[in-house]
Amino acid sequence: MYRCKAMRVDDWAPFQEKFEDFFMLAGGDRRLALFIENGPEGVEDVLLIPQHQSDMVELLSPGGWQDCPDARERNWGLLVGHASAREDHGLKSGYE
């Protein structure tokens, strides 16, 4: 299961920094990752996190999170996580 939230770059850039800190404090846990699906110009981007510790991650940007049952059918870029995070989590690349 995955959780996602639509955000403008002004919102997701600071969230990404907070997530990076959380990721490092968690010892680079491979079960944690932050992905992005870029929206068209002028449309919010969608950020995606795996279910693992999502309750803690969501506190870094409260409100607006929802389940993303079609995550594996969509294309994602990796913002934070191990280089193999897309493969580890069964997600497609946004650059294929």
pLDDT of residue 60: 96
pLDDT one-digit tens code per residue, 4-63:
999 998 999 999 999 999 999 999 999 999 999 987 877 899 999 999 999 999 999 999
pLDDT value, residue 37: 94
- The answer on pLDDT for 95 being more than 70 is no
Q: How far is the C-alpha of 47 from the C-alpha of 38, rounded, in Å?
A: 9
Say which amino acid occupies 68: C
Domain that holds residue 31: 2-93
Residues 6+ apart with CB under 8 A from 66: 3, 4, 5
Confidence of residue 93 (pLDDT cuts 50, 70, 90): confident
- Tell me which residue of 57, 41, 40, 80 sits closest to 4, measured CA to CA: 57
Question: b/e map of 42-63 (b: 16 or more CB within 10 Å)?
Answer: eeebbbbbbebebeebeeebee
Tokens of 19: 């997530």
Q: How many domains does the chain have?
A: 1
Position 42 scores a pLDDT of: 78
